[in-house]
């Protein structure tokens, strides 16, 4: 299953934006500073941009967006989504995710997470398995992992069609529905990404709002030190 996702690497390769900005897929920008009322300096790749945003942006944060240049040198940025899905990950997460996706039964998963939590050797590892346990208690399998040197987050909701939330370090988040080991539908916030996914996987693709199936509650106890 994860091997199918390698098709996304081809999408990334086709999105090496030239000096004249015309990104066909969503890209990542970083907010460097606020320079005035609704005006910001942004970093896009190795390029720095000054632009206006009706949306209040958080300095230091990264956002997915569509970006293009228009006549007169005007830079258009739209559909900003804060990139806060990806963080700490399991070094062996991709193997765990592959096992989950190929297993006929998942009775082993809860004991595995509990044992891994008990045997955690670092704060990061403990936090990660603890959050996985919380998610599983709410019916969501959540696996932060790294693939092709890119941090990622996968979340799974089981059913007749398996719901699969995925965000790569360099890709906007999307939800896929899987049946019989094959992708049958994608949902993404970006029309350009939907078009690229439809071409790569030849299945139904829809533009719509996308969010993780599970997020840690803001005021929930977290561990430090």
Domain boundary assignment for the chain: 2-7+86-207, 15-82
Q: Whole-angstrom Cα distance, residue 135 to residue 156?
A: 10
For 15-82, CATH number out of 2.60.40, 1.10.287, 2.40.50, 2.115.10 equals 2.40.50
Q: Is 209 helix (H, G, I), strand (E, B) or coil?
A: coil
Confidence (pLDDT) at 1: 55
Confidence (pLDDT) at 45: 79
Q: How far is Cα of residue 103 from the mean position of the Cα atoms in its chain?
A: 24
Q: How far is Cα of residue 59 from the mean position of the Cα atoms in its chain?
A: 20
Flag whether the pTM goes above 0.85: no
Given a cut of 70, the residues of the chain with pLDDT beneath it are 1-24, 70-74, 85-86, 148, 150, 169-170, 218-225
Q: Whole-angstrom Cα distance, residue 166 to residue 111?
A: 24
Please give the order of strands across the beta sheet that includes 47-52. Answer: 47-52, 39-44, 27-36, 62-69, 75-82
Instruction: Write the DSSP symbol of residue 83.
Output: -
Confidence (pLDDT) at 189: 92
């Amino acid at each position: 299953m994860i091997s199918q996702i390698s098709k996304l690497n081809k999408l990334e390769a086709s999105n090496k934006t030239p000096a004249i900005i015309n990104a066909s897929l969503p890209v990542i920008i970083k907010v460097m500073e606020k320079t005035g009322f609704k005006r910001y300096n942004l970093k896009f790749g190795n390029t720095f941009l000054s632009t206006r945003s009706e949306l209040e942006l958080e300095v230091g944060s990264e956002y997915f967006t569509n970006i293009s240049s228009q006549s007169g040198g005007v830079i258009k940025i739209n559909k900003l989504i804060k990139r806060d899905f990806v963080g700490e990950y399991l070094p062996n997460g991709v193997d765990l995710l592959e096992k989950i996706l190929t297993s006929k039964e998942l009775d082993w998963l809860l004991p595995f997470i509990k044992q891994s939590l008990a045997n955690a050797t670092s704060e990061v590892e403990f936090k990660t398995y603890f959050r996985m346990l919380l998610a599983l208690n709410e019916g969501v399998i959540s696996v932060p992992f790294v693939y092709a040197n890119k941090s990622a987050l996968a979340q799974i909701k089981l059913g007749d069609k398996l719901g699969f939330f995925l965000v790569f370090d360099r890709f906007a988040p999307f939800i896929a529905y899987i049946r019989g080991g094959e992708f049958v539908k994608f949902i993404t916030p970006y029309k350009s990404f939907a078009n690229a996914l439809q071409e790569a996987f030849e299945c139904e693709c829809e533009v719509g709002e996308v969010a993780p199936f599970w997020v840690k509650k803001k005021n929930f106890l977290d561990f430090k030190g």
